Structure 1
Amino acid sequence: MKGWKVFAEIQELKRKGLNKSQVERIMNINYKTVTKYWNMKPEEYAELVKEAKNRAKKLDKYKSDILSWIREFRDISTAQIHDWLRERYGELDFKDRTLRWYVKKLRKDFNLPKAARDRQYMEVPELPMGYQAQVDFGQAWLHRPDGSRIKLYCFAMVLSHSRFKYVYWLDKPFTTATFIEAHDRAFEYFGGMPKEIVYDQDRILAVDENFGDVVYTEEFQNYINLMRFKTRLCRAYDPESKGKVEAVVKFVKYNFAIHRVFVDIDSFNEDCLKWLDRTGNGKVHDITKKVPAEVLVSERQHLQPVPQSIDKKSNDTSLIYSVRKNNIVFYKQNRYQVPKGTYEPGKQVKLVLKDNSLDIVDLETGEIIAHHVISSKKGELVKLNHPERYISKTTEEMYFKALTVLGGTESAKTLLDNIRKERSRYAKDQLGVIVKAASNYDEESVKKAIEYCVSRRLWSAGMFKDTLEHFSMKNSENSSKKPTLNNSSIPSKCKGVKTEIRAISEYTMALKEDNREWKN
């Protein structure tokens, strides 16, 4: 009836002698609408309304999808609906405003009003190309395929001039190390870095801020010194001073992340980059009325070149320590164990710090000889699970060694592949047991043990060892010989040595003497 009311009012004002411009002002409607209905008869308007009701709309073929999303996610935005349709169906044959009208009508027809959010943002003055970027963090709760929930953390950086964005997600809170890694990824994505970056006062980058004198964390200060960009920290509770990135975080959360199903962090980041190409950086920005990806082409020429930070940065976060005689390294009042035999006079190692862990690296070979979680206590001995084994010997190396010992057959490969899969957490230990066990028995027993375990799906080094021992004993009984060890397991100094064989009479005489002493 609203349409009929508009039509009737236009005709009434026309009969009173008003012109089109006066009708436009009085009714506060578009001049084109007034012109459209100005000379139209009631029966013509009725026919127009009838045709409009019966005419199929372009968006009707997406109605079930759109309606299901609105019902499930009452706060979903039209922009996210548009992105989901593009993600599912590719290029679309309608404009954004058509979708907004259609979604608005669906919400009204099915009584599905949008849940409102109150947060507001303020703009900062426009800056020249390549001068500034803004950084902020965000969080989002998502569902896994099994229905459980997971909290994700995002790093967002936006170039202030072009509004070109980069977003990086983690499934655990950011640390200084991962924060720096996110910077490197962003600079690579941009093709350069700005002269200044604006931050919040976050503990992973700043320890204290004393009336403008900022004390950064040691690791981040090293990074700033290396990269040579200026920094500016916002005052506490003053998000408006970096409103561009605040808007980006909101945009990413409510137009990309929200209502997505989380499978793994790598595919989630991959999908986010596709979303940036498609929507975040690929659509006209509401404020600048330009496409960020297109503006970046010009702004990239004003960005600073990025130093080769990865190798240099690792030097900044590593320390040189001496190995003690008892094969330990002291670090921050705790003792960290290294494999037995590491020590030699003057031996030094490098400690590479990563998040809450450290790698102890051989200075000469560059190999990681131990890995520890950094202890928060004092005076603690942080032990290795296997101090006799070098951690640098990878599972892959142990796998090929085991495969060689087992003869390199397809059955041996099947056994090892399944053991590595079923016992992934202890794969190296399992493979080590197999190498040690198989080296001590004959080839025939090893072959039978492999076939037995594979045929009965016994994916365990312990079961293989027991099976090997069983077949070896069986072979021994059949040949009336004891199982012999592989010559490689006999020390060279013992080879060729024969044991003395005593006569039975000597043992009989010794027993008689013992009985005589006991009676006395």
Structure 2
Amino acid sequence: MNYYLNKLMTYHEVHKMYREGNSIRKISEHLGLNWRTVKKLLSKDDRSYQKELEQPISKKKLLDPFRDFVREKLELYHDTSAAQMFDWLKEQHPDFPSVSAKAVFNFVQGIRAEFNIPKVSSARDFQMVEELPYGSQAQVDFGFYNMTTTTNKQKRVQFFTFILSRSRYKFILFSDIPFTTAMVIDAHEQAFQFIAGLPEEIVYDQDRLFIVSENLGDIVLTSEFSNYVRERGIKLHFCRKSDPQSKGKVENVVKYVKQNFLYNRPYRDLETLNNECIAWLHRTANNLPHGTTKLIPLEELAKEQMFLEQYHRVLPKPPQKQIYAVHKDNKVSYKGNFYSVPISTYNAGIY
């Protein structure tokens, strides 16, 4: 009965808003319905729709066992997207059947309509970017997010984001402390290992971890990152500030991580978060068709790897030993301070 009443109320609300002069798109956004559903409801009169509702449902839906889970999530988080719900279902239910994203979308929309749970939508701007050849470019950016811990405290995390521009294959690495240049270098190495290769060029923002200053248009790199780039032979491209057109792909990934992976995910510890993210990359981010290319990044990576430079991990060079003179009174001067050494050291000549 509750199902019948909610369907009937939605039907009458759609017709009421339409009579008031609202467009199909406006009704769709306000009620959290697909525009096709709104159009279909508007095409029916009261009598035929009531007759349709009164007909018994003869076939049990494949996704019915997950109704309570979806309803609970939607009631807690009204703005949950169908894409994120799809990922949650696969993550939380190993027995979740193999269905299309469209089937899950319709299932979620049906529950929204049945229990009157509208979605709070926000406008998003997209811009077409010309596709590049395989292996030619990757993009790197950073994201920040405030998570709620399992003890109901706030935890700010930062994440390194890497994407191959053509295949859209992604790598993410989280940190619970601010990234240093050394940590960023290690993140690059993990990304290259994850994709099993190196692209020709990497696009960056003008981040303090990479750049000391910009002198008359010339980028001055930090010494540590400059040494790494020279050893790796990476070609770099730095975007100017407020220039999202040059690195729109990776900026979209930052949003995707926040909205699909991090949204309403509790923080336990850093290792767990990174393990969960790798599982998400394999399960969802790199294994579902990309919204723009309509291709699966994992399958596209197999093509792109043929154009990537072969990966060999760069090991950090061991620190060079410093030699200090020992004074007659068995002391060594180090950075303006004197330190005592064993009495027999002076006889050895060098400490």
TM-score band by shorter chain is: 0.7 to 0.9
Q: State the partner residue of 2:23.
A: none
Q: Are positions 1:67 and 2:71 aligned together? A: yes
Q: State the partner residue of 1:314.
A: 317
Q: Is the 8 A contact 1:124 1:242 kept in 2?
A: no
1:92 to 89, 97, 100: 97
Pairing of 1:102-251 with structure 2 (within 5 A): 102-118=107-123, 120-251=125-256
Q: Is the 8 A contact 1:123 1:244 kept in 2?
A: no
Q: Classify 1:54/1:224 alpha carbon distance in 2 versus 1 (closer, same or farther; 3 Å).
A: same
Pairing of 1:94-493 with structure 2 (within 5 A): 94-118=99-123, 120-310=125-315, 313-315=316-318, 318-323=319-324, 325=326, 330=334, 333=335, 345-347=349-351
What SS does the corresponding residue of 2:245 show, helix, strand or coil?
A: helix
Deviation at 1:232, TM superposition (A): 0.3
Q: Which amino acid aligns with 1:231?
A: L
Q: Is the 8 A contact 2:140 2:202 kept in 1?
A: yes
**What is the alpha-carbon distance in structure 1 between the residues aligned to residue 117 and residue 337 of structure 2?**
62
Q: State the partner residue of 1:83.
A: 87
Q: State the partner residue of 1:437.
A: none
Q: Classify 1:174/1:327 alpha carbon distance in 2 versus 1 (closer, same or farther; 3 Å).
A: farther
Q: Is the 8 A contact 1:205 1:216 kept in 2?
A: yes
Aligned residues: 312
Unaligned runs of 5+ in 2: 1-7, 15-34
What SS does the corresponding residue of 1:100 show, helix, strand or coil?
A: helix
Q: Classify 1:29/1:265 alpha carbon distance in 2 versus 1 (closer, same or farther; 3 Å).
A: closer
Unaligned runs of 5+ in 1: 7-27, 348-520
Q: Is the 8 A contact 2:325 2:350 kept in 1?
A: no
**What is the alpha-carbon distance in structure 2 between the residues aligned to residue 150 and residue 164 of structure 1?**
28
**What is the alpha-carbon distance in structure 2 between the residues aligned to residue 121 and residue 200 of structure 1?**
19
Q: Are positions 1:51 and 2:55 aligned together? A: yes
Q: 1:380-399, CA deviations, whole angstroms, 9 ceiling, x for partnerless residues? A: xxxxxxxxxxxxxxxxxxxx
Q: Is the 8 A contact 1:168 1:182 kept in 2?
A: yes
Fraction of identical pairs, as percent: 34
What SS does the corresponding residue of 1:288 show, helix, strand or coil?
A: coil
Q: Is the 8 A contact 1:121 1:240 kept in 2?
A: no
Q: Classify 1:292/1:29 alpha carbon distance in 2 versus 1 (closer, same or farther; 3 Å).
A: closer
- The structure whose Rg is larger is 1
**What is the alpha-carbon distance in structure 1 between the residues aligned to residue 283 and residue 340 of structure 2?**
50
**What is the alpha-carbon distance in structure 2 between the residues aligned to residue 287 and residue 132 of structure 1?**
17
Q: Classify 1:249/1:346 alpha carbon distance in 2 versus 1 (closer, same or farther; 3 Å).
A: same
Deviation at 1:126, TM superposition (A): 0.7
**What is the alpha-carbon distance in structure 1 between the residues aligned to residue 168 and residue 186 of structure 2?**
21
**What is the alpha-carbon distance in structure 2 between the residues aligned to residue 341 and residue 281 of structure 1?**
64
Q: Is the 8 A contact 1:121 1:246 kept in 2?
A: no
Q: Which amino acid aligns with 2:108?
A: V
**What is the alpha-carbon distance in structure 2 between the residues aligned to residue 292 and residue 125 of structure 1?**
17
What SS does the corresponding residue of 2:349 show, helix, strand or coil?
A: coil
More RCO (CA 8 Å, sep 6+): 2
Q: Classify 1:193/1:257 alpha carbon distance in 2 versus 1 (closer, same or farther; 3 Å).
A: same
Q: Is the 8 A contact 1:227 1:306 kept in 2?
A: no
Q: Is the 8 A contact 1:327 1:342 kept in 2?
A: no
**What is the alpha-carbon distance in structure 2 between the residues aligned to residue 71 and residue 61 of structure 1?**
17
Q: Classify 1:267/1:337 alpha carbon distance in 2 versus 1 (closer, same or farther; 3 Å).
A: farther
What SS does the corresponding residue of 2:103 show, helix, strand or coil?
A: helix
Q: Which amino acid aligns with 1:68?
A: E
Q: State the partner residue of 1:403.
A: none
